[in-house]
Amino acid sequence: MTNELKAVPRHVAIVMDGNGRWAKKRFLPRFFGHKAGVDVLVKVVQACIDRNIEHLTVFAFSSENWKRPSDEVSGLMGLVLAAVSRYLARMGSMGVRIRIVGDREAVSAKLRNAWNEAESATCHNTKLTLSVAFNYGGRWDIVQACKAAMLAGVPPDQLTEAKLSEFMAMSYAPDPDLFIRTGGEVRISNFMLWQVAYTEFVFSDCLWPEFGEAQLDAAIQAYRDRDRRFGGVKAAPAVVAA
Ligand code: FPP
């Protein structure tokens, strides 16, 4: 891939980790870290638009986050509901299309309705697609795609990687080029397992509420410096006959 093609990742995926520790450092309840995290997300969406990034996918609530204390879970649900009503119009005027990925069955009808409203109000926007992974897990996605393919009657001998991709929750987006995880942990935590096969990873010690344009640009620069071969080899220099 040429440097020109690599200049801007088309799709950036982010695990926004470190909200709890950010709040703890300030002797605040964890909820305040998540609240600060929402405001940072809005700024990062704008920064991605400014850099011509087409897709931003963020991990807002994993299938495993239900294990957290019930007050934190309900706090996060309330925060997301409040964020939809506070930021939906702004996202619309920024040209953002919102998509929600994840199992919607377990969330409240109120939150489901808010998601539906956010998706339908922004469905014609084209500047950037913000996919919010909520009650999402990479393994859940693979299983739901297999079930959907079976229900659609795809015969086993026609179930190729490309065919299964059509049933994945994010079939509308290219695979992420760049995966960023803040908060110092070096793991995927069940995020987009199928889609990150050839994604470039950047792990940052920065806590999510402290993330900004400088950290985004550093991650993009690290991505540009990588040699993406997608399992192939670097093209050999042309041999000139004597
Ligand atoms: C991880 O930090 C963060 C989360 C589990 C939640 C992230 C959610 C948001 C920023 C809100 C998103 C809202 C919308 C509207 C998309 P942590 O709690 O695991 O932090 P820690 O590792 O320091 O404890």
pLDDT range class, residue 3, cuts 50, 70, 90: very low
CB < 8 Å & 24+ apart, contacts of 45-49: 45/91, 45/94, 45/96, 45/128, 45/130, 46/94, 47/212, 47/213, 47/216, 48/12, 48/128, 48/216, 49/94, 49/95, 49/96, 49/127, 49/128
pLDDT range class, residue 2, cuts 50, 70, 90: very low
| 57, β-bridge pairs | 13, 131
Listed by start position, the domains of the chain span 11-137+169-225
Asked if residue 5 has pLDDT above 60, the reply is: no
- Atom number of ligand 1 nearest to Cα 58: 16
pLDDT digits (tens, 9 = 90+) for 59-102: 999 999 999 999 999 999 999 999 999 999 999 999 999 999 99
Question: What average pLDDT does this structure show over 210-216?
Answer: 98
Q: Above pLDDT 90, what percent of the chain? A: 89
Asked if residue 137 has pLDDT above 50, the reply is: yes
pLDDT at 56: 98
Say what the pTM is.
Answer: 0.92
Residue 133 Cβ contacting ligand 1 at under 6 Å: no
Residue 36 Cβ contacting ligand 1 at under 6 Å: no
Q: For 123, how many CA atoms within 13 A lie in the half-sphere containing its CB?
A: 7
pLDDT at 241: 60
Ligand 1 centroid – CA 70 distance (Å): 15
pLDDT digits (tens, 9 = 90+) for 165-205: 999 999 999 999 999 999 999 999 999 999 999 999 999 99
Ligand 1 centroid – CA 13 distance (Å): 14
pLDDT at 148: 98
Asked if residue 242 has pLDDT above 60, the reply is: no
Residue of 19, 81, 187, 191 to test ligand 1 pocket, by largest number of atoms within 8 Å of CB:
19
The superfamily in CATH containing domain 11-137+169-225 is Decaprenyl diphosphate synthase-like (3.40.1180.10)
Residues 132 and 45: beta-carbon distance below 8 Å: no
Average pLDDT over the chain, rounded to whole?
94
Residue of 21, 28, 34 to test ligand 1 pocket, by largest number of atoms within 8 Å of CB:
34
Ligand 1 centroid – CA 37 distance (Å): 7
Residue 102 Cβ contacting ligand 1 at under 6 Å: no
Q: Above pLDDT 70, what percent of the chain? A: 94
pLDDT digits (tens, 9 = 90+) for 28-44: 999 999 999 999 999 99
pLDDT at 233: 76
Which residues are annotated as catalytic? 17, 65
Asked if residue 14 has pLDDT above 50, the reply is: yes
Distance between CA 94 and CA 72 in Å, rounded?
30
Q: Which range (23-27, 36-40, 73-77, 148-152) has the least confidence?
A: 73-77
